[in-house]
């Protein structure tokens, strides 16, 4: 392992994901008082138990780009589109967020099965955007599918506005 590089087990990743998902949960408002944190938002919960151990502004909607990319990957897998199909990275029709750097070059090609991995492992916004554009029905249909998936998972306060998760809307 490289020094200074974070490494997470799959169990840790799912535990972190569960805590992040609770940020949008109605259970977040039931949190007990806890430590005085400098963080603007925080939530802590035990897996397989209802409620939060601690929450700070846990009901506040916030953009969580990495969690949105997990939703992007779920929608791709649920869609049934062929994972062996090659996707071409086309120039975006709307500008990327100011802090969105990409290593992927326009007109690059990759099999669809590789693109969610890049979106998740590198937090690659261009990869997430390309997956959405190649979805049956295009970007709008993809965003609608992401919101339907969120509702299906019980995320009643979640509203997805784009596959990278950087939009402030």
Catalytic positions are: 66, 69, 123
Q: Let me know if 134 is exposed, middle or buried by CB neighbors in 10 A (0-12, 13-18, 19+).
A: buried
Residue 95 φ/ψ, nearest 5 degrees: -65, 145
Task: Convert 137-167 to b/e letters by CB count within 10 Å (16 or more is b).
Answer: eebeebbebbbebbeeeebeebebebbbbbe
* Per-position DSSP letters for 123-147, written without gaps between them: --HHHHHHHHHTSTTHHHHHHHHHH
Beta bridge mates, 111: 86
In Å, what is the CA distance from 10 to each residue of 17, 68, 76, 112, 119?
10, 18, 20, 23, 17
Structure-block tokens of residue 126: 């261009």
């Amino acid at each position: 392992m490289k020094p200074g590089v974070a490494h997470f087990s799959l169990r840790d990743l799912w535990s972190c994901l569960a805590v992040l998902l609770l940020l949008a949960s109605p259970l977040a408002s039931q949190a007990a008082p806890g430590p005085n944190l400098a963080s603007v938002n925080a939530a802590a919960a035990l897996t397989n138990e209802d409620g939060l151990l601690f929450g700070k502004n846990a009901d506040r909607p916030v953009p969580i780009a990495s969690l949105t990319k997990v939703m992007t990957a779920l929608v791709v897998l649920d869609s049934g589109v062929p994972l062996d199909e090659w996707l071409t990275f086309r120039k975006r029709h709307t500008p990327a967020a100011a802090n969105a750097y990409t290593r992927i070059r326009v007109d690059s090609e990759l099999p669809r099965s590789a693109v969610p991995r890049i979106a998740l492992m590198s937090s690659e916004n261009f990869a997430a955007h390309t997956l959405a554009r190649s979805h049956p029905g295009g970007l709008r249909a993809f965003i609608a599918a992401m919101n339907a998936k969120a509702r299906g998972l019980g995320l009643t306060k979640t509203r997805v506005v784009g596959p990278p998760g950087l939009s402030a809307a």
